Amino acid sequence: MLQHSPDVIRSNSGAPPQGGRMRRAEPTPLLSAADERTLARAIEAGILARHLLETGERPVPATDAELAGIVAAGDRARHHFLLANERLVWHLAGREARRSGLPTDELFQEGFVALADALQRYDADRGRFSTYAMVRIRQHLAEVASARFGELALPPSRALRLRRARGLAAVIGQERGGGLGSAELAAELGQPVECTRRLLEYRPPVALDPLTDGAAIPEAEPFDPDAGIWARQFRRLIARLDADQAQVVALRYGFVTGEPVERGAVAERLGVSSSTVRRLELRAIQVLRPLAAALHPATEECAAGTTRSQEARGSSLRITA
């Protein structure tokens, strides 16, 4: 695990470029698994060398010049590692920008900070970096977007119900191998069909561009208005899990791709067996189930009957094995 400090991360040459739209003409090539391991070793060596220079300790014979060279090589490796994953940040920032209406450049800056934070915690022996970093970048960007919820004209409690309704529809749809109609979903939620339909049909207001009098309309992609609310709750929950369990749960229940991922696909992405994914998932469920059951957010309109339905199912979004 790369245990360098956030101050080191922000001060080195791998900081995000100011003015995000000025992308590099030739992006840094993507890293292979072998590249990631090599760079990670160089970064770790640089961290150790910096520590030895600062403390004066010499567990191995090395001159200050030699240690300084190792530090410089580690900084170059970190810079290379971050730039090679810059496109991942652009992709996730652009997606969140279309969903939230926030500027892509602003989200890119935030996403790059999350990328550096992920690199700080990354262990190259536990799988590919992109899979590990994607969860953390998405969570951070969702939290940034949630700070602007007041502009969406949607009460937080209703936003949370919308997320739960969509999540329940995705889980049941995956179990049945098909979509779930409004009437069926309403029955599962224990609320009127019309309320469920209105909830699912919600779209945020679209502001006209003041510089073009509305000529440039944002790309019409459905916005998930409660992503930040659930992201905050989810982040608190997965803090109880180890890194492997957190990755499995995030993929299995749609917090990475937006849709639940089959165990076999999760195993392929993480480079492990399906039985390992199942074991990690079951262990995570044992930790998360009592915590998730304790979440009882207040409801507003269309809330009648939901308590009885939730008690029957355990919870609208109870994680099941």
What does the angle CA 273 – CA 274 – CA 280 come to, to the nearest 5 degrees?
Answer: 95
pLDDT band at 77 (very low <50, low <70, confident <90, very high): very high
- Do 16 and 81 belong to one domain? yes
CATH number for the domain harbouring residue 163: 1.10.10.10
- Quote the percentage of the chain above a pLDDT of 90: 20
Domain count, the chain: 2
**Could you report the per-residue pLDDT of 105-143, keeping only the tens digit for each?**
988 999 999 999 999 888 888 888 988 899 889 888 877
18: DSSP letter: S
Residues 6+ apart with CB under 8 A from 161: 199, 299, 302, 303
> Quick one: pLDDT at residue 205?
55
Q: Determine, yes or no, domain membership for 67.
A: yes
Does 201 share its domain with 65?
A: no
Flag whether 178 is in a domain: yes
Domain shared by 139 and 165, yes or no: no
**Residue 303: pLDDT band with limits 50, 70, 90:** very low
- Are 246 and 216 part of one and the same domain? yes
- Residues 134 and 172 reside in one and the same domain: no
Query: Is pLDDT above 70 for 8?
Result: no
Is 167 in the same domain as 134? no
Same domain, 125 and 231: no
Is residue 321 in some structural domain?
A: no
Residue 85's pLDDT is 94
Output DSSP code: residue 178. S
Q: Do residues 211 and 135 both lie within one domain?
A: no
pLDDT reported for residue 145: 72
Range with the largest mean pLDDT of 127-136, 154-163, 179-188, 295-304: 127-136
pLDDT tens-digit profile of 31-48? 998 999 999 999 999 999
296 burial type by CB count under 10 A (0-12 exposed, 13-18 middle, 19+ buried) = exposed
Of 119, 147, 175, the domain-final residue: 147
Reply yes or no on whether the pLDDT at 87 is more than 90.
Answer: yes
For the cut 90, the answer to whether the pLDDT of residue 74 exceeds it is yes
pLDDT of residue 278: 86
When the pLDDT of each residue in the chain is averaged and rounded to a whole number, the result is: 72
Mean pLDDT of 278-306: 64
| CATH code of the domain covering residue 106 | 1.20.120.1810
Does residue 234 share a domain with residue 107? no
Residue ranges in 56-151 assigned as alpha helix (H) = 64-84, 86-100, 104-121, 129-146
Range of the domain at 224: 154-313
| Same structural domain, 142 and 160 | no
Last residue of a domain, one of 131, 147, 163: 147
pLDDT tens digits, 310-319: 444 443 333 3
Place of tokens 């998730």: 292
Q: Which of 90, 120, 147 is the last residue of a domain?
A: 147
**Paired tokens of 278:** 């199942």
Q: Does 130 reside within a domain?
A: yes
Q: In sequence order, which residues have a C-beta less than 8 Å from that of residue 75 and are 6 or more positions away?
A: 12, 13, 14, 46
**Of residues 321 and 252, more confidently modeled:** 252
Is 139 found in the same domain as 185?
A: no
Percentage with pLDDT > 70 across the chain? 60
Determine the pLDDT at residue 37: 92
Does 318 reside within a domain?
Answer: no
Same domain, 70 and 159: no
Instruction: Write phi, then psi, for 248 (nearest 5 degrees).
Output: -65, -50
Q: Is residue 34 part of a domain?
A: yes
Tokens standing for residue 27: 């992006």
**Residue 93 has which token pair?**
């920032």
172 domain-assigned: yes
At 321 the pLDDT is 39
Within-domain flag for 319: no
- pLDDT single digits (tens) 222-280: 444 444 555 566 666 776 788 788 888 877 777 666 667 788 888 888 888 888 888 88
